[in-house]
Structure 1
Amino acid sequence: MPMTDMQPRHDWTREAIAALYEAPLDTLFSKALEVKSANWADGKVQKSQLLSIKTGGCAENCGYCSQSAHFDTGLKAEKLMALEDVVAAARQARDGGADRFCMGAAWRELKDRDLPKIAAMVSAVKAEGLETCVTAGMLEPHQAHALREAGLDYYNHNLDTSREYYSTVVSTRTYEDRLETIAHCREAGINLCVGGILGMGEGREDRIGLIHELSKLNPHPESVPINMLVPIEGTPLGDSPAISVIEMARAIAVCRIVFPKSWVRLSAGREGMTEEGQALCMLAGANSIFVGDRLLTTDNPGETRDEALLSAMGFEHASREETATPARKHTLIGA
């Protein structure tokens, strides 16, 4: 295996990432934790919260999504939430310990007629002292600039999977469409939250391919969410075989090594994991989680369970500034 790099690099080959991914788990974890300790505070986990501000009726046919208008999942389409309701949810998230608030709208692309409303939400949430994140489909350059002017910190636009497997998951837009929106956000000065979903029937080579595609983004995404598929009845991927938590942890550990300065977030799928499974993923290098009872339209562990898990691990939630503090020098207990 190559030596561990503590700083971001953009010359990763697919073969080098595969060598990391397929290493013995103890070797992989050791390297991931070496990188984490060099760049992040020990025992600290950042909390983000995600709210569906516009649910259902999406024109895309993403095979994993309950919100697609192409599938009958029993989900009722709703209009864009009122500004005051979004702000109330943001305050509740802040009071629950989250310091990043993510707003998700089930759209193929952001329409100009809705841009002022989304910008107003960003500004209002920012005024509550929260870092802001939006996911609202594809963006045009002027829309990205308008959101940045409103105070948007992050835009989420996942690549989902490898370039080769992508058309199996969604056919209403291309991989290049995804990359184009990502480029618009970067040009506007918006931080990127870009990751993928594991367990959609892809092979390990596709998980490696996803990480390789992310590694080619320069600079790397500031946040890399790793999701475990939550199968939704009525979607094409609703019967997908479950991916193992060990495979999830492998992907997270590789991401921690490849993206040393990025948040690596254990995202969707925690509700279906045991405490031990979630702990394994955090020990692999994840340093951020989504909190709250809901994650868009699926269940998520609530505050009580999250606090019990962090307590059992000896971890504590912390602000993004505290979490990003370089790790403490290790000393012997009692020294």
Structure 2
Amino acid sequence: MSTWQISGVIVLIAIIGIVATMIWLMVNHSRGRKKQLKERLIATRQAAARQRVADKRAAAHKMSQERLAAKRAAVERQAAKRAEIAKAAAERVAAERAAVEREIAEWAIAEQAENERVRAQRQVEKQREAEEVDIRMRAVEEAIAEWVEVGQYGSSTEQPVKLNVLPEKTRSHAEAIQQQVQLTAKEVAKERDELEFIKNRIEADVDFLPVEFKHTINEWKVGKVFRRSTFDDLKLKFRYKAYSVEDGYELLQMYRGWVAEQREKLAGFAQSLGGGTVDKSQTIQAIIERAEQNEREKQLEMDVDVIYALRNIRDILERLINMEILLKALDEVCRKRSEQIIAPPWQEKGTL
């Protein structure tokens, strides 16, 4: 091989090396360029993603702030509403308390006025009865004097008219007392039946009574409810309900006071029918016997209505004595039921 051929081969190899180097440089440059573009794209995407995340966080923070502000406003509104409700409730309670106090004051004033009216009426009735007694006594004295005078002078034309004045007035007074005695007899008979019913219900092992009855009685005592109702109205309201031991004791105290009032009333009736002055040391039976004796001493002028009224008073007294016996039985029944409630008796329920 000649020198020119070798030189040509070397030149060709050099050219090929130069071309290959240039191609490699171009490829490497293009790869670097692509890598830079790719990194820029990734950086741009990451920046956009970070921006979106930041925007989302800002929006979420703003939304949370708005939500907190809304909640705070709602809480403030609820607090204001609760304050208004509490204020309205306090005003309503104050108004109700003032109304209750006003009703209690009115009830006290009405009760005081009623007591004063009853006291004045009793005084007027006592004064009227005293005046009637004086008038009857004067009429009797005048009739006796005229009868003696007419008997002395032999004239008897006016005698029947004058002697009829006393029986007519006495009979009207006795009829009024008899009417009151009959009303009292009906009331005592009714109360005796009520008391026996209560005792039998408690004795029959019925020891439950709603709290409403006790609450109603307590409020009725202070005048909060049923101010215009009587004790009969309350009993009628709870007539067919069971009676507990506590209410048995409550009614026991009430009936004891009521029986004492009826005894005083009977003593007043007997005194009005001629039993003399009422002495607390004397029994009602003694007052009745004295009134009957005073009436029988009148002989021909004796008023039969007075005798019948005194007999009715004696019958009412016997019923009151029976009621006192029932009260003792009720006390015993309540005591036994209380012991059963505290320590109930053991009962065999079966065998194992």
TM-score calculated relative to the size of structure 1: 0.17
Structure with greater contact order relative to length (CA < 8 Å, sep ≥ 6): 1
The structure where helix makes up a greater share of residues is: 2
Q: TM-score, normalised by structure 2?
A: 0.16
